[in-house]
């Protein structure tokens, strides 16, 4: 029987191996998304599969199981300090998620995802739902099987929702989304009746690539990211990743005919990266490093994209940044005009291009359809009709093709069913954090107006960022805000903001 | 007792793990040299150390030892095909090199190298040999200890030479370098007496960074590299790496005041990358992938840099490439003028800036000093005097500072003692390959003049590249050239070329 000291040393060693593998896969995948040449895809996939197999073997070994069982018992008796106890808690969970699924089932699922992604890519291009449809059914069946293995007797979709955001379930999201619908649907109707839209003329035109990249760095700097701990590269679809507080990665995409697209990609990805850079550095190379959940991560990205970046208080700062990089181009533009232009809300077909107001409706549609697939009231072949009905009723739009409809998102082909709701939840977390911050005396508007966001960062670092994975999402939001999660902060924010802009 | 089929499956699995780790470390290190921010250095080093530990444990495990022993016995009985037998042969050697060195000794050496590199970096900047000197002594002592563990009773420096280029030894290099000295020293003297130098005026001036990078891609294309299997990035000191035939990496450096520097970096690194891209693709993800040795690798890089790139036949093609990217800048320049400008030979203090003729003298000086350190006739504190004496006698130069003298190269601080000689040997291999290619009927000059290097590539692919690590360097050169290695091809080449240019 090893001593506690020996077990704690083994715990460190286990986490060192997990960190090394995370660094390896992050480096390989980031290069894959940004700079790798075409032929590199095959060997990259092989290397990633082998590295994943190594992590699986390490986590599922009897030795790791025994170690975590012994340390879990020590933790229960209060023999471990808080940090080690949190490490053991998170590792035990990660092991449980892997160990009860036979390696062959897991491998079949990985292969199915691989296949489904390439089928989806072609299906989207060729507007061919029928070819992807059987894969979605197989995906749902396999995910249901795995969920049942992991949490026998529990609703499979509940398990998936909880995977992506611990503490959530259908009951939780049903309540959340019904509150959101009650707020958003009438606002969208009122706005449509009004018939007026702010002009976007002031942000239209061509903007050179290299200058946009320079602007991108200016914006990351205004946000407060440490350039000394950031890799910035270019890709097709922007994303953020990280290996520890000393090294975050952002990949972005510049459109020369749309300067605003990259401005908000930067503020959004910068929010993700700021969270990662500001996790307690003593958590580096342990399982506690990293954002705690998709929902909390989205709350940070959307905080900087929308609550800061699309606020009227920040508009003069953004205008100043645009004027410095594009001299003369924004001379006749007022901060108010810019604010209105970047907040124009309009029902649209594509989720990733949606404004703050209509965005949650796109999520609700996906959430409703995913539930039907899992509870057996629909199969994949019903999806286009279900999709199109909902876009007509919630957004008043006719969907001209599945390419612009139920084939638009990659998520279902990757096995990410249950993921979409966290996008909307992140927005709602953000609104509650904003109210809590103000109630705590942070001069939010003053910080935005001055362009010095330090007071906002200080509050978020203390309440959210530094904790990494040590506190679960719901307790984290509750301790940060001094109250349990409450969506009314979000609905109030949307109501006030868009009533104001559209004079509803 | 497992069946052969089971053992061959285990052999594949072992190589899949080694490949995954090679991909991981290559990706992490390439990012480290090209795009990583400053704070990333610490976590990167930790991840690399852990990944290296994993490879060490895998290679040194009793299970791997037993597997290789069984397969080695099968190979000896002719039960394995040639490829599997070669895999086993190379793996057995790699295991032997690791397994007889205690993990603690290996770890101490790794730490010593880490420390020595940072001491050297500061010492070079501050021209402070005294601070680096004790590290070099410790390095030599540890390397001697490790060499003794690995090949008891054998001369330690011989072991190191053989590590970097299998089949070489002090006796080998003594003979080689004495032949080279006999050729080069009189040529350099004659040249100095002559007092004439070709003008470099035609290649001087400022050349914009982005256009130089476009030119770099043109040159790689002329060489024949597949862009679809190449990552090209920028760094301080150019280098090439690879993970398999489908993915090579080149990092280069552009000087806006020196267009020729990057031209030859590209041709040089392109030669390395071409070797890697053209290894038999069935060797991908096995231990047989990769260039066989440093010497053979240098033979390929120098082949394209010097034998092709600095030939008079290629000068019109190079001139054309320069004219296309820098319209007007090279209008008044003739191919002959360009040829002379890029072949100007002059004794200098810095190895990496040396021309083809004086280059081997820089290597000989390092080789002589390394031998003295290992045979105990000198310690690190004697090095500056030994260095400066040799630069005076071989190159006729006074060394004004250790920064421009014995502190100039990074190698000694990394534990790469025994490495330098392979640079000169690579040049000599190249000259012999060139003669063999011509004797085989390849129209070398015609290919260079036309800019279509396909006939040269076809010959090198067949004779050298495709074999990867399956054939050892000396047998590889012998089979490629139809005769054992012979330095007189090299000395003849240098004599003819520089007698011609300088009319000696």
**DSSP conformation letters of A378-403:** --GGGHHHHHHHHHHHHH------GG
What span, in angstroms and rounded, lies between the C-alpha atoms of A159 and A417?
11
Query: Which residues of chain B does A23 touch, with a Cβ-Cβ cutoff of 8 Å?
Result: 28, 43-44, 47
Place of tokens 């998936």: A160
Q: Could you tell me the pLDDT band of residue A353, with boundaries at 50, 70 and 90?
A: confident
CB A415 within 8 A of CB A118: no
For residues A205-221, give the mean pLDDT. Answer: 97
Q: Could you tell me the pLDDT band of residue B159, with boundaries at 50, 70 and 90?
A: very high
CA atoms within 13 A on the CB side of A477: 29
Which helix or strand (DSSP H or E) is residue A250 part of? Answer: strand A247-252
Interchain CB distance below 8 Å, A19 and B51 = no
Give chain B's length: 504
Interchain CB distance below 8 Å, B40 and A229 = yes
State whether the Cα torsion B68-B69-B71-B72 is positive or negative.
positive
Interchain CB distance below 8 Å, A39 and B284 = no
Residue B103 has pLDDT above 90, yes or no: no
For A365-379, give one letter per residue: b (16+ CB within 10 A) or e: bbbbbbbebbeeebe
Query: Which residues of chain A does B233 touch, with a Cβ-Cβ cutoff of 8 Å?
Result: 35
Q: Which of B216, B233, B231 is nearest to B33 (CA)?
A: B233
Most confident of A232-236, A349-353, A360-364: A360-364
What span, in angstroms and rounded, lies between the C-alpha atoms of B80 and B84?
6
CA atoms within 13 A on the CB side of B86: 15
Query: Backbone phi, then psi, for B289, in 5-degree steps?
Result: -75, 150
Which tens digit of pLDDT belongs to each residue from B427-472? Answer: 999 999 999 999 999 999 999 999 999 999 999 999 999 999 999 9
Q: Which of B38, B48, B230 sits opposite A37 (nearest CB)?
A: B230
Q: Which of B44, B233, B246 sits opposite A40 (nearest CB)?
A: B246
CB A254 within 8 A of CB A213: yes
For B321-345, give one letter per residue: b (16+ CB within 10 A) or e: bbeebbeeebeebebebbbbbbbeb
Interchain CB distance below 8 Å, A35 and B233 = yes
For residues A333-361, give the mean pLDDT. Answer: 95
Q: Which of B35, B229, B247 sits opposite A231 (nearest CB)?
A: B35
What span, in angstroms and rounded, lies between the C-alpha atoms of A159 and A148?
9
Residue B329 has pLDDT above 90, yes or no: yes
Query: Which residues of chain A does B284 touch, with a Cβ-Cβ cutoff of 8 Å?
Result: 43
Looking at residue B104, its pLDDT comes to 84
Interchain CB distance below 8 Å, B19 and A47 = yes
Looking at residue A117, its pLDDT comes to 86
Query: Looking at CA atoms only, how far is residue A281 from chain B in angstroms?
Result: 11
Which residues of B have a CB under 8 Å from any CB of A?
Answer: 16-17, 19-20, 23-25, 27-28, 30-31, 35-40, 42-44, 46-48, 50-51, 54, 226-231, 233, 243-244, 246-247, 284-285
Query: Which residues of chain B does A28 touch, with a Cβ-Cβ cutoff of 8 Å?
Result: 23-24, 27
Average pLDDT, chain B: 96
Interchain CB distance below 8 Å, A20 and B233 = no
What span, in angstroms and rounded, lies between the C-alpha atoms of B197 and B205?
19
Which tens digit of pLDDT belongs to each residue from A296-323? Answer: 999 999 999 999 999 999 999 999 999 9
Query: Which residues of chain B does A243 touch, with a Cβ-Cβ cutoff of 8 Å?
Result: 40, 43, 47
Query: Which residues of chain A does B231 touch, with a Cβ-Cβ cutoff of 8 Å?
Result: 31, 35-37, 40
Which tens digit of pLDDT belongs to each residue from A439-493? Answer: 999 999 999 999 999 999 999 999 999 999 999 999 999 999 999 999 999 999 9
Q: Could you tell me the pLDDT band of residue B259, with boundaries at 50, 70 and 90?
A: very high
Looking at residue B236, its pLDDT comes to 84
Residue A174: other Cβ atoms inside 10 A: 13
Query: Looking at CA atoms only, how far is residue B234 from chain A in angstroms?
Result: 12
Query: Which residues of chain A does B244 touch, with a Cβ-Cβ cutoff of 8 Å?
Result: 43
What span, in angstroms and rounded, lies between the C-alpha atoms of A386 and A392?
10
Looking at residue A104, its pLDDT comes to 84
For A428-439, give one letter per residue: b (16+ CB within 10 A) or e: bbbbbbbbbbee
CB A464 within 8 A of CB A296: yes
Angle between helix axes B294-302 and B420-439 (nearest 10 degrees) is 60
CA atoms within 13 A on the CB side of A55: 22
Query: Looking at CA atoms only, how far is residue B38 from chain A in angstroms?
Result: 5
Cα–Cα–Cα angle for B56, B62, B68, rounded to 5 degrees:
90
Looking at residue B125, its pLDDT comes to 92
Coil, helix or strand for A477?
A: helix
State the burial class of residue B62 (Cβ atoms within 10 Å of its Cβ: 0-12, 13-18, 19+): exposed
Q: Given strand B247-252, what is the order of strands in its sheet? A: B230-234, B247-252, B239-244
Q: Which of B42, B50, B231 sits opposite A17 (nearest CB)?
A: B50
Looking at residue A107, its pLDDT comes to 80
Which residues of A have a CB under 8 Å from any CB of B?
Answer: 16-17, 19-20, 23-25, 27-28, 30-31, 35-40, 42-44, 46-48, 50-51, 54, 226-231, 233, 243-244, 246-247, 284-285
What span, in angstroms and rounded, lies between the C-alpha atoms of A435 and A429?
10
Q: Which of B24, B46, B247 sits opposite A37 (nearest CB)?
A: B247
Q: Which of A422, A487, A474, A379 is nearest to A144 (CA)?
A: A379
Query: Which residues of chain B does A234 touch, with a Cβ-Cβ cutoff of 8 Å?
Result: none
Coil, helix or strand for B250?
A: strand
Which tens digit of pLDDT belongs to each residue from A419-451? Answer: 999 999 999 999 999 999 999 999 999 999 999
Interchain CB distance below 8 Å, B23 and A38 = no
State the burial class of residue A308 (Cβ atoms within 10 Å of its Cβ: 0-12, 13-18, 19+): buried
For residues B233-245, give the mean pLDDT. Answer: 94
Query: Looking at CA atoms only, how far is residue A406 from chain B in angstroms?
Result: 33
Query: Which residues of chain B does A226 touch, with a Cβ-Cβ cutoff of 8 Å?
Result: 37, 39
Interchain CB distance below 8 Å, A247 and B36 = yes
State the burial class of residue A59 (Cβ atoms within 10 Å of its Cβ: 0-12, 13-18, 19+): buried
Looking at residue A110, its pLDDT comes to 83
DSSP A406-425: TTS-SGGGGT-TT-THHHHH
What span, in angstroms and rounded, lies between the C-alpha atoms of B11 and B95?
13
Looking at residue B115, its pLDDT comes to 87
For residues B380-392, give the mean pLDDT. Answer: 97
For residues A271-281, give the mean pLDDT. Answer: 98
Q: Which of A42, A22, A23 is nearest to A32 (CA)?
A: A42
Q: Could you tell me the pLDDT band of residue A174, with boundaries at 50, 70 and 90?
A: very high
B24: nearest CA partner in chain A:
A24
Query: Which residues of chain B does A279 touch, with a Cβ-Cβ cutoff of 8 Å?
Result: none
What span, in angstroms and rounded, lies between the C-alpha atoms of A423 and A198?
26
For chains A and B, CB pairs below 8 A equal 123
A37: nearest CA partner in chain B:
B228
Query: How many helical (H) and strand (E) elements, i.e. helices and strands, does chain A have?
Result: 20, 3
Q: Given A115, A148, A204, A269, which residue is catalytic?
A: A269
Tokens (6 digits) for B214: 């476009």
Catalytic residue numbers of B read 269
The percent of residues above 90 in pLDDT, for chain A, comes to 93
Interchain CB distance below 8 Å, A19 and B244 = no
Q: Which of B104, B116, B93 is nearest to B145 (CA)?
A: B104
Query: Which residues of chain B does A30 touch, with a Cβ-Cβ cutoff of 8 Å?
Result: 31
What span, in angstroms and rounded, lies between the C-alpha atoms of B36 and B236?
13
Looking at residue A113, its pLDDT comes to 87
Coil, helix or strand for B412?
A: helix
Q: Which of A363, A421, A472 is nearest to A173 (CA)?
A: A421
Work out the widest C-alpha separation in chain B, in whole angstroms: 76
Interchain CB distance below 8 Å, B37 and A229 = yes
Strand B247-252 relative to strand B239-244, pairing: antiparallel
Average pLDDT, chain A: 96
What does the CA dihedral A395, A400, A403, A408 come to, rounded to 10 degrees? 0
Residue B118 has pLDDT above 90, yes or no: no
What span, in angstroms and rounded, lies between the C-alpha atoms of A418 and A405?
18
For residues B292-299, give the mean pLDDT. Answer: 97
Interchain CB distance below 8 Å, B247 and A36 = yes
Interchain CB distance below 8 Å, A31 and B231 = yes
Q: Which of A178, A168, A160, A172 is nearest to A375 (CA)?
A: A160
Q: Could you tell me the pLDDT band of residue A64, with boundaries at 50, 70 and 90?
A: very high
CB B239 within 8 A of CB B291: no
Q: Which of B44, B48, B229 sits opposite A39 (nearest CB)?
A: B229
Residue A332 has pLDDT above 90, yes or no: yes
What span, in angstroms and rounded, lies between the C-alpha atoms of B314 and B267?
12
Q: Which of B20, B37, B43 sits opposite A230 (nearest CB)?
A: B37
User: In the 8-state DSSP scheme, what is residue A255?
Assistant: B
Query: Looking at CA atoms only, how far is residue A19 from chain B in angstroms?
Result: 7
Q: Which of B344, B251, B357, B317 is nearest to B456 (CA)?
A: B317
Interchain CB distance below 8 Å, A231 and B37 = yes
A361 CB-near residues (< 8 Å, 6+ apart): A181, A184, A185, A188, A347, A394, A395
What span, in angstroms and rounded, lies between the C-alpha atoms of A308 and A262?
16
Strand B230-234 relative to strand A239-244, pairing: unpaired
Which tens digit of pLDDT belongs to each residue from A91-132? Answer: 999 999 899 998 888 888 888 987 898 899 899 999 999 999
| Confidence (pTM) | 0.94
CB B276 within 8 A of CB B296: no
B36: nearest CA partner in chain A:
A231
Query: Looking at CA atoms only, how far is residue A249 from chain B in angstroms?
Result: 9
Query: Looking at CA atoms only, how far is residue B226 from chain A in angstroms?
Result: 9
């Amino acid at each position: 029987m090893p001593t506690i000291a020996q077990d704690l040393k083994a715990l460190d060693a286990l986490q060192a191996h997990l960190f090394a593998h995370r660094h390896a896969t992050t480096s390989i995948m980031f290069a894959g998304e940004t700079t790798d040449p075409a032929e590199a895809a095959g060997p990259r996939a092989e290397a990633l599969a082998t590295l994943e197999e190594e992590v699986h073997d390490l986590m599922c070994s009897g030795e790791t199981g025994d170690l975590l069982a012994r340390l879990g018992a020590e933790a229960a008796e209060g023999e471990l300090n808080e940090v080690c106890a949190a490490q053991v808690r998170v590792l035990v969970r990660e092991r449980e998620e892997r160990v009860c699924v036979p390696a062959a089932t897991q491998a079949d699922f990985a292969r199915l995802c691989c296949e489904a992604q390439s089928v989806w890519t072609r299906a989207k291009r060729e507007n061919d739902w029928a070819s992807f449809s059987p894969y979605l059914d197989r995906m749902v069946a396999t995910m249901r099987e795995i969920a049942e293995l992991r949490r026998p007797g529990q609703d499979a979709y509940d398990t998936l929702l909880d995977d992506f955001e611990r503490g959530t379930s259908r009951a939780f999201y049903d309540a959340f989304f019904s509150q959101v619908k009650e707020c958003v649907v009438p606002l969208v109707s009122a706005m449509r009746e009004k018939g007026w839209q702010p002009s976007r003329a002031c942000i239209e035109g061509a903007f050179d690539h290299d200058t946009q990249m320079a602007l991108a760095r200016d914006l990351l700097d205004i946000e407060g990211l440490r350039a000394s701990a950031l890799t910035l590269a270019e890709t097709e679809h922007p994303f953020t990743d990280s290996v520890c507080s000393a090294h975050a990665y952002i990949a972005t995409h510049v459109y020369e005919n749309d300067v605003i697209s990259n401005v908000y990609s930067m503020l959004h990805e910068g929010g993700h990266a700021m969270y990662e850079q500001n996790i307690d550095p003593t958590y580096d190379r342990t399982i506690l490093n990293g954002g705690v959940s998709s929902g909390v991560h989205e709350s940070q990205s959307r905080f900087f994209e929308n609550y800061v970046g699309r606020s009227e208080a920040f508009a003069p700062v953004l205008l100043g940044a645009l004027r410095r990089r594009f001299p003369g181009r924004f001379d006749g533009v007022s901060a108010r005009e810019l604010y209105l232009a970047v907040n124009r809300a309009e029902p649209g077909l594509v989720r990733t291009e949606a404004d703050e107001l209509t965005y949650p409706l796109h999520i609700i549609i996906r959430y409703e359809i995913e539930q039907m697939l899992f509870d057996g009231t629909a199969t994949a072949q019903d999806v286009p009709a279900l999709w199109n009905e909902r876009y007509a009723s919630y957004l008043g739009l006719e969907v001209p093709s599945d390419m612009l409809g139920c084939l638009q998102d990659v998520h279902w082909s990757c096995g990410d069913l249950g993921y979409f709701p966290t996008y909307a939840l992140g927005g709602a977390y953000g609104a509650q954090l904003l109210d809590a911050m103000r109630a705590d005396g942070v001069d939010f508007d003053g910080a935005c107006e001055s362009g010095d966001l330090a007071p906002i960062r200080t509050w978020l670092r203390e309440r959210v960022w530094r904790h990494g994975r040590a506190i679960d999402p719901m307790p984290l939001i509750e301790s940060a805000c001094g109250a349990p999660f409450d969506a009314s902060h979000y609905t109030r924010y949307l109501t006030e903001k868009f009533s104001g802009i559209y004079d509803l």
